[in-house]
Structure 1
């Protein structure tokens, strides 16, 4: 489902099955996550939501927390200390890894974690029942590599003009 708009009825049904009232703002947040097809920072989600309707940051974070709690979204850490959000298992059965660009902060969804990590072998070697796997590959994306320039660090996230439209 990632990368394409959700049908309103489909999203409403998923929210209802999760025990969440399908308000207009919640449906809009679900649609933004589905349309984008990649993990987004809350500020990016808020900007996209505000393009179509009024919304505030506190309400957005409450919606994102609720979506994560109910399995509708995943919350992923990133190198710039900001969480990124993407669709969760109730919207998309596809578990996946992420690639994070250290220069522009873009986080892309990659193929399933099971294709990149032998979860069963890790679980056995750790002696644990695995509840989830989060894999993030940090590096420089192709667009930033072509533009050159310094790499942002955790101490100066987003402080670098990276040539990708982010500062």
Structure 2
């Protein structure tokens, strides 16, 4: 049974925070990345590998050709997508959630002529390090998340 997206927002000041129970969909399509696809060693990769090991099949990691951790990613060959590939663009517009670690370049494909006005999925920012909000600029609401291992799903 697939439930509807329930974003269960909490307001802190003028920031909106989303609970990790956003993943009420049985197996939502999620794109995850970090360091613009050039690394796989931070919160983004850890969350990605956790979801795959937990049995979620629709979770994909965005990597670039010059990713310095490519050997680590080959274990997940069915769930990695080359940045800016046709498959990346297809899944980008189809995704239920975009999970970023450092900035929008983590999961966004490069567009030359196609405007982003087609829209995209809600963005989840993996808050890490010192607990304060980074300043990031998007035209859509940014969702900031801080979670513990026990809250990962």
Q: Same fold (TM over 0.5)?
A: no
Task: Name the structure with the higher strand share.
Answer: 2
| TM-score normalised per structure 1 | 0.26
The structure having more radius of gyration, on CA atoms, is 1
Task: Name the structure with the higher helix share.
Answer: 1
